[in-house]
Amino acid sequence: MVVLYVLDVREFRPIVEYARTLKDCRVEAPRKGYHKIVSTTEIVLNRKAMKMKPAVWYGLFTGGMNGEITEFGREEVRVVGTNKLL
């Protein structure tokens, strides 16, 4: 399972809206200032599809996560579940 915590601010709202369109993602309402995005499979986010500026894109994980980043490029990020101790 993969979990992303996204700060509930306007700048990060495109992440939440994009995650709602992903087949295997569930987005929970904000709690304590964070949205929780959960997936039983990997989560793949695309910067251009979300129309995010690079500065915001590189702050994508400031809310935290449970998972492992397997790819983090200028345009796409891929997060998978992990059994590794963090």
pLDDT digits (tens, 9 = 90+) for 19-64: 999 999 999 999 999 999 999 999 999 999 999 999 999 999 999 9
pTM for the whole structure: 0.90
Identify residue 86 by its one-letter amino acid code.
L
Among 27, 75, 69, 35, which residue's Cα sits nearest to residue 52?
75
Asked if residue 85 is part of any domain, the answer here is no
For the chain, the C-alpha Rg in angstroms (whole number) is 12
Q: In what order do the strands lie in the sheet with 25-31?
A: 25-31, 34-39, 2-7, 65-66
Q: Are 24 and 1 in contact (CB under 8 A)?
A: no
- In this structure, what CATH number is given to the domain that contains residue 19? 3.90.56.10
Asked if residue 53 is part of any domain, the answer here is yes
Q: In what order do the strands lie in the sheet with 68-72?
A: 43-46, 76-80, 68-72
Residues linked to residue 72 through DSSP beta bridges, in sequence order: 77
**Number of domains the chain is built from:** 1
Asked if residue 30 is part of any domain, the answer here is yes
pLDDT score for 86: 57
